[in-house]
């Protein structure tokens, strides 16, 4: 009996290479900026607000990332990313320093993903981390 021919699913997707030496607390890829702008167009309440990235306790690895549209608070940092501004509170900036936020969309789903050089471990779904 001969061995069956292996099934080929095409070339393996290439993992993007991120430059963590960008000199900001965080940076967004072009895909992430586009998705933020699309959300603002789709959601009337978000159009007048800025994109906030935050970290909170929880998730299977200890901390989890969160994203929302919000007003600027007194202690927030305002970080320019292409032609949008991102809000980050002081606590979050200590956990995200040097991170890059990307946006992916493929056959498995879509969403923001944080590439965090400070994370010592992440969970399988990529939404929580340990420092």
The one-digit pLDDT tens for each residue of the chain (131 residues) are 566 666 666 666 667 766 767 788 899 999 999 999 999 999 989 989 999 999 988 766 678 889 999 999 999 999 999 889 999 999 999 989 999 999 988 887 888 988 888 887 666 555 656 66
Q: Name the phi and psi angles at 97, rounded to 5.
A: -50, 120
> What is the pLDDT, as a whole number, of residue 105?
86
> What is the pLDDT, as a whole number, of residue 86?
95
Residue 29: DSSP 8-state: -
């Amino acid at each position: 009996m001969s061995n069956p021919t292996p099934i080929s699913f095409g070339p393996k997707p290439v993992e993007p290479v991120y430059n963590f030496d960008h000199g900001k607390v965080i940076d967004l890829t072009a895909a992430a900026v586009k998705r933020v702008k699309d959300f603002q167009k789709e959601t009337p309440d978000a159009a007048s607000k800025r994109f906030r990235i935050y970290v909170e306790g929880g998730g299977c690895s200890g901390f989890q990332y969160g994203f929302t549209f919000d007003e600027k608070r007194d202690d927030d940092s305002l970080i320019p990313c292409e032609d949008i501004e991102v809000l980050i509170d002081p606590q979050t900036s200590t956990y995200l320093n040097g991170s890059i936020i990307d946006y992916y969309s493929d056959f498995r789903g879509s969403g923001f993903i944080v590439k965090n050089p400070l994370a010592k471990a992440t969970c399988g779904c990529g939404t929580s981390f340990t420092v």
